[in-house]
Amino acid sequence: MPKVLVEKRDRIAFITFNRPEVKNCIDPEMQDLLVEVWTDFRDDDAVDVAILTGAGDAFCAGADLKTYIPPWLGTDALRVRDNLATGLGGLTRGLHRIYKPTIAAVNGWALAGGLETALACDIRIASERAMFGSFEARRGYHHGDGGLVRLVNTCGAGVALEMLLTAEPIDAERALHMNLVSRVVPHERLMEEAERVARQILRNDQLAVRSAKETILDVIGRPLDEQLRTEALNAYACADTEETMRLLQRFYDKTDAGRAGTHKTEL
């Protein structure tokens, strides 16, 4: 059985970590597969959104402590430098600039590199059974594939310091209160909810969606004037005139998908 499962249907790529016997931890082979999978998602015009989840009772427990971590201990500086081009699981660094939206459907434990991968996704939806943690300090190291940066950017320095310095887990409800996830749903509804969110994204113009994602990534950490300039440049240059006018006409005709109010329409 492949260590990463991929199913494509209706413009969605369903990607599943598939090493349930070891909580879906990432070994070197799985790492290479994930890079291939995310590269294919980026380049495949038939899919516009990805939903990432895990097989079994875990989302992903991070790097395999037996096969992935030991070769990095004491490694030479040049190898470390070369590694900067590709983060753990592909999506955390290097392929993080895929502008197609990504959704993490966190079905269980998201630990270490699994937490980093969830944070690298644009939207995180958690099962009520989900647990999040960064246990690296217990093992003698800390996040190196975006976990520190994204946890600070998403939840703030206080949350990041508590999680990383204590190396204690948090449950789904606390993750929701900390803005680590956008919603928590009953476990049996997790994939249904993730797909519903994907459908909401897919009803929109994908040029606008991808430009919005690119703009958000570009303005993080920038001074206000740079943020405003980047937003204006991208927003006023992202529209395809013919397609935008077609979508506006649907609004004028009150037929656009997912419309609310008196002229409500189905998604």
Q: Which residues are catalytic?
A: 116, 136
Which residues are bridge partners to 15 per DSSP? 6, 52
- Residue 103 neighbours by CB under 8 Å, 6+ apart: 49, 50, 51, 52, 121, 122, 123, 124, 125, 194, 197, 198
Q: Which two structure tokens, joined as six digits, stand for 257?
A: 């998908």
CB-CB contact of 106 with 115 (8 Å): no
Cα within 13 Å of Cα(163), Cβ side: 29
Q: Which stretch of DSSP H or E encloses residue 127?
A: strand 123-127
Size of the chain in residues: 267
Q: Is the separation of the CB atoms in 106 and 127 below 8 Å?
A: yes
Query: Per 3-state DSSP, what percentage of the chain is helix, strand, and coil (rounded to 5)?
Result: 45, 15, 35
Report residue 39 as tokens. Answer: 């590269």
CB-CB contact of 213 with 194 (8 Å): no
